Structures are given as C-alpha cells and as structure tokens.
A and B are shown apart, each in its own frame.
Chain A
Amino acid sequence: MKSTQYSEATLDHFRNPRNVGTLDGDDVALGRVGNPTCGDLMDIYIRVKDDTIDDIRFQTFGCGSAVATSSMVTELVKGMPLDEALEVTRADVADALGGLPPIKMHCSNLAADALHEAIENWRSGITPEEIESHGIGAPACMAIEESATASIEHYMGKGVFKSVGDLESLRDQRVLVVDTGEVSAELAISLTEVSGRVVFVTRGKTLPYSTDVVERVARSDVKVLYECELVDVGGEGVVERVRIHDLDEDDEYDLFVDAVIVAE
C-alpha cells in the first residue's frame, strides 16, 4: 500500500479540515506533540467548561494524515467530558477516518496524544504561554558539548574559525555559527550578506539578547536551531559536517556545512 492511499474520509478532512485555529483565554490549554524535524507538529487547543471540552481548535504541520487525524480528533471530542476524552485512542481516530495506510499509523497519528497532552496540561495548570515560550531567558552559554572540543581543535583553521576577518572568504559557504553571546548572533546576521546558508545553534529556547538583535535575527535568513548543541565536527581534512544534539528531543543528527564559527 502506498503511503498516500488514503480513505475518502481522510481526504475529506485533509481538504476541509474542521476546527482550524487557536484559542485564547484563562480557560484554554494547549497540547503540543511532534517535531518539525520528523515532519509533524500538532497543536491542539481546548477550552474547558465544567470539566468538559467546550471548544477545540488545532494547527498542524505535516502530511495528509497528520492534518486529517487532527481534524477528526477535534470532531470526536468536542463537547465531551475530559475523562471520556482521555479514553480516545489513536486507533479510535484512525477508525473514525476509515483506517490509515499502515506506515502512517505511528508517525502521523499523533492527534490523540496532542489531545491528551492538552488535557493533562489543563489539569496541571500549565498555560499555552508557558508551552509556547518555556525556558525564556535561558542563560547564554556555549552551545558546545564537551565531547566536541577535541574535534573543534582538530579542524581549527580548516573550516573552524574563531573570528571572521573578511566576510567574503565565506561567500556561498554553508556556515554554522555557535552561540557564544550577542556578538555571535550579530555575526550570523552579517554572514547572510555573503551566504545563503547561515545556521545559528543555541542552547536556549529563545535568544536572551536585546530585542533589537532578536528581531533582526527573526527577520533575517539565519536559521536558528534552538535547544541544540554542537557535538562533533567531521570531514575529510576540512570541515564537511557537524553533529547536532537536539536537547529537547534528545536526538542527534548530521548537518552538512562548510565552516563553523566559534566566536570568542
């Protein structure tokens, strides 16, 4: 079965998703599951009245079944008491859609999990704002794991640099800038003048710098990897790739780059 052989109900919910959007207010909780890295991220907002789901909205980044399952779960539980909604399983959602392609059953069927997460967050008093921005003001510290220091030394001058004298020397290079403070964020912004590919790796959930710098980073083409650290640098004689540790997901992956800047 092809991964996109969807039932008519799934296609209908993909084409005409129900209850799209967000909710605001003191009586609202948010459940967020997935990770854009894996291709799926779901937000489910519930408004709770008398221990019942009074209103529900979702936003989803993902494939056809990710969108359809989110839409379906909102229909299934609207008006349902919270305890009952906690009993709704992934299988219930898939069944309501007339089944999902087997390969999608696990990866793109997270809607029930997001719903449960929202209910649990409601009960623990965790607000949507806390989820959106938890960890604000995380201390700026070198986004480098100790294990990486040897490889950084090894490639020093061969793609790893402590400073950039001439931006032109990095024209069209893929550059990873390690968060070593506000200056490094400024450097990342200026590198976008010569390179289409600037990645900024920081341990924080946000950048704890002046509003001006944070806004300029947001407007720029700098790609920020939040809550990540540099674990290793590799390549044949020169820097060709780095290994990134995603602290939130506790996941590691390779990123192909030509240069690494660890500004002093």
Chain B
Amino acid sequence: MTAPASVYLDHQSAKPTDPRVVEAMLPYFGERFGNPASLHAVGDAATAALGEARLRLASALGAASAKEIVFTSGATEAANLGISGYCMRNRRQGTHVIISEVEHISILNIAKYLGKNGFEVSRVPPDQFGRISPEKVRARLKEDTLLVSVGWASNEIGTVQRLGDIAEALAESNAVLHTDAVAVQSQLPIDLESCGAHLVSLSSNDFYGPPGVGALYVRSGVKVGPVMLGGGQEDGLRSGTENLPGIVGMSLAAEIAARETPADGARMSELRDRLVEGVLASIPDAHLNGHPTERLPGNAHFRFDGVEGESLLLSLKDKGISAATGSACSSKTLEPSRTLISCGLLHEEAHGSLEFTFGRWSQASDVDRVLEVLPAIVGRLRELSPIYRPKGPRDEVNT
C-alpha cells in the first residue's frame, strides 16, 4: 500500500514561499549581504535595495507613498506597533479603544494589554455570519475614542468585512481605524489608499513571501510611537537591523500577489464551492460557519453536530490531510475560538469546527480527497459519540 499524497488545506496557518521569491532573495544572503546603516559601498547597495523594496511594496499595495510602509518581523509585530504604538503615543487625546470580537487572537491580546494599562476597551460583537455592523461600532464611539480595530476578514471563518463602511462610521470622530489585513492577503485585491484604514498590519508569508517579515502601513499624518527601541531604523519606528533578504522577498511576493490574486481567487472560489457543496450534501447535520457569500475565496469552515474538532484533525492527519479547528482541545488555553462563540455558537458547537483554507497551488484533487474520506471520518466519530442525535430523517423512519 502506498501512502496517499499529502493534501495541505491549512494555508491560513502557513504558506509555502513562492520559488520566484526564494530565488530573488538568495543574493541578499551572499554578495549583497550589507547593512543599510553602513556608510561604505556594501552598505549603500543595501540601502538602495531597502528603498527599492519599500517602493515596490507600496506600489503593489496602492499606498500613496513608500514612507507609509514600516517593515517589521511579521503581522503580530505590525499590530503591536499599529495599536499599542498608536495608543501609547496619543494617549493624551483619549484612552478608549474599540475592537471587534472576531479579531485574531494577537489583536485580542494586545487589547487586553491596553486594558491593563489604563485604556478602556469596548468590544463589538458580530452578527451570526461574523460581520461587524458600522452601526454597532458607531454606538460605541466616544469623544475620547482613540482607535478602532476591525480585521479586514476573519482568518478563521473567512467572513469579509465592509471596511469602507466601518471607516465611514468613524469619519466624524477622532478615532483612527486599524485593520489586520493578513486574512485577505493573496485572497482579495488590496488597495491601501482607498481601503479606509489608517493603520494596516500585513505579513510577508501571506503573500507567499518568507516567514519572519511583515509591515505596518501608516497613513500619512498618523502618528505612531515605537514599541521596539534601539538604533532608530525604519524612521525610528522599528529599531533593529533590517531583515533585507526577507524584505526583498516580501516586496516581490506582494508584487506577484497584486498581479495573480484575481486569477488565484477565482480558482480558489471554485474549489471552495465544490468542497462546501460536497460536504453539505454528503454529511448530515453539517453546517457552514461564516457568511454564505461574503467570504474569502479560499475559506471553507464547517461544523458537525456531535463531533469534536481535534478528533477530526487527527483522523484527517491519518489520511494525509492537513486542516485546522477552532476546538478548545487543540488550543493552548483550552478555550474554544472566540470568533465562533461571538457568532452565537455554543461551546459544544464550536468544538465541532473544521477549517479548510486553499492556496495558490491547491487543486481539484485536494477537494476530491477530502470528499472521499470526510464522510466516513465524521460517521465513525459520531458512532463513538454519546451526544450525536441525527435530525429529521431518523425520526421520519421511526414514525
């Protein structure tokens, strides 16, 4: 028996680096190894490469100026700089912060930190599909609201927010809008100038660039203070010698993404729709989480009555399939996903969640493989489960 080919459908967790990107990075480990801060010729070449990369990233993402891009070690650091850095720098103007309940765990924890350091944090619940309503944001605005953070899309359930409408709700206030754009990267086109946010956190890997690099977009005129202190790189906002190979890689990856995302997105939506239709048709008491249409092209997020998510993951792993779950049993805190709970699910329902995320190289055969094995996996776990009670059909048979 040969082992089945492995199927990777967890692109929200990690993406492979595009080979074109790897190739472009290689010289920066070798002959172009310089430090942009050095005053000699090797340093000058590095300074030039850094400037080019910044410009390339800014134009790929539709920023008005390269000065609006601050390179970081990833999206988490970008969010720390964007949220904490902004709030600490401007705390004399206000100490109230609003975040959505469907933020990524890193944003929830940054808000928690602010809450412990003199800020008041309000949280906006989503509707059952994971959408944040501008009215609910507006209802929480106060005179001293400094910042609002709403993720552009949910990395978990894939719901895409109407960011422009949320920005409009803040128009009359003094608050700036931060958005974590990671989930939409390589899924939907990004235009920073028109997106409505003042601060945007980005990761390199989510453009199929190298991990360990990210960037914060800071709209001109918005004042941020550093959270990482040192030699004053990145205009004083992010100290530490620049990760030049990574930055070069990220900027090329973003350029490729800007070009290829429309076609990638169309292909991923087709795969996603086939998976969703197939799963809902072949497995009873299966549900799609998130919004039926306003969702990322590459995201399919299910829950199955009476089945626990970690058990699903282990069983899929045995079949060579990589997926993700919002179940508590697979998390560090043993708490189920906040996103699922805030959409109105009960804990026991959140435990039964299973997430598939497609990527640039996903194929129809990946979907076929999942559809081939998942019904039996869910069926087996339900046979083991004392809480699974089938709906309708069973009762009709009995009567």
Contacts and interface: CB of A to CB of B under 8 A. Distances in A.
A20 B331 contact: no
Contact of B139 (A67, A237, A241): A237
A107 interface: yes
A100 to B, nearest CB: 12
A218 B395 contact: yes
Contact of B311 (A62, A174, A238): A62
A143 to B, nearest CB: 16
Interface stretch (B208-216, B258-266, B382-390): B382-390
Contact of B385 (A37, A60, A196): A60
B311 A63 contact: yes
The binding surface of chain B is classed by DSSP as loop
Interface in B357-399: 383-389, 391-392, 395
A167 B311 CA distance: 39
Contact of B344 (A174, A225, A237): A174
Contacts of B318: 15
Contact of B348 (A37, A63, A172, A254): A37
B399 to A, nearest CB: 8
A232 interface: no
Nearest to A221: B391
Interface stretch (B7-15, B194-202, B335-343): B335-343
Interface residues of A, number: 52
Contacts of A223: 346
Nearest to A21: B383
B328 interface: yes
A181 interface: no
A187 B307 CA distance: 29
Given A196-B128, A218-B389, A237-B139, A39 B344 contact: no
A27 interface: no
B347 interface: yes
B142 to A, nearest CB: 11
14 contacts: A4-B314, A14-B311, A14-B314, A17-B384, A20-B383, A32-B386, A61-B385, A62-B311, A103-B332, A215-B395, A238-B139, A256-B125, A256-B341, A256-B343
